[in-house]
């Protein structure tokens, strides 16, 4: 019932997350139907974002820290 390429990508995503294809489908449908945020938000998935000390001016200067001095 799924196009080949879509199913291939979904199976690959499920494997990378360590869940079954069925679990990925259930989570995805639940998130879609309840309006939940993206389960794979790259910012939230990056554990390093929440570790260690951060500069006091991070909020104001985030572009400089993310993209360099010329951003």
CA pair distance 44, 51, nearest whole angstrom: 12
Q: What is the pLDDT of residues 4-48, one digit of tens each?
A: 999 999 999 999 999 999 999 998 888 888 876 655 666 666 555
Is residue 30 packed enough to be buried (19+ CB in 10 Å), middle (13-18) or exposed (0-12)? exposed
Query: What is this structure's pTM?
Result: 0.50
Domain that holds residue 20: 4-67
Q: Is the pLDDT score of 71 beyond 80?
A: no
Count of structural domains, the chain: 1
């Amino acid at each position: 019932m799924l196009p080949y390429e879509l199913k291939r990508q979904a199976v690959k995503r499920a494997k990378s997350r360590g869940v079954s294809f069925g679990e990925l489908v259930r989570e995805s449908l639940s998130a879609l139907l309840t309006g939940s945020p993206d389960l794979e938000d790259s910012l939230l998935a990056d554990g390093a974002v929440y570790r260690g000390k951060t500069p006091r001016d991070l909020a104001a200067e985030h572009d400089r820290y993310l993209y360099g001095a010329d951003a």
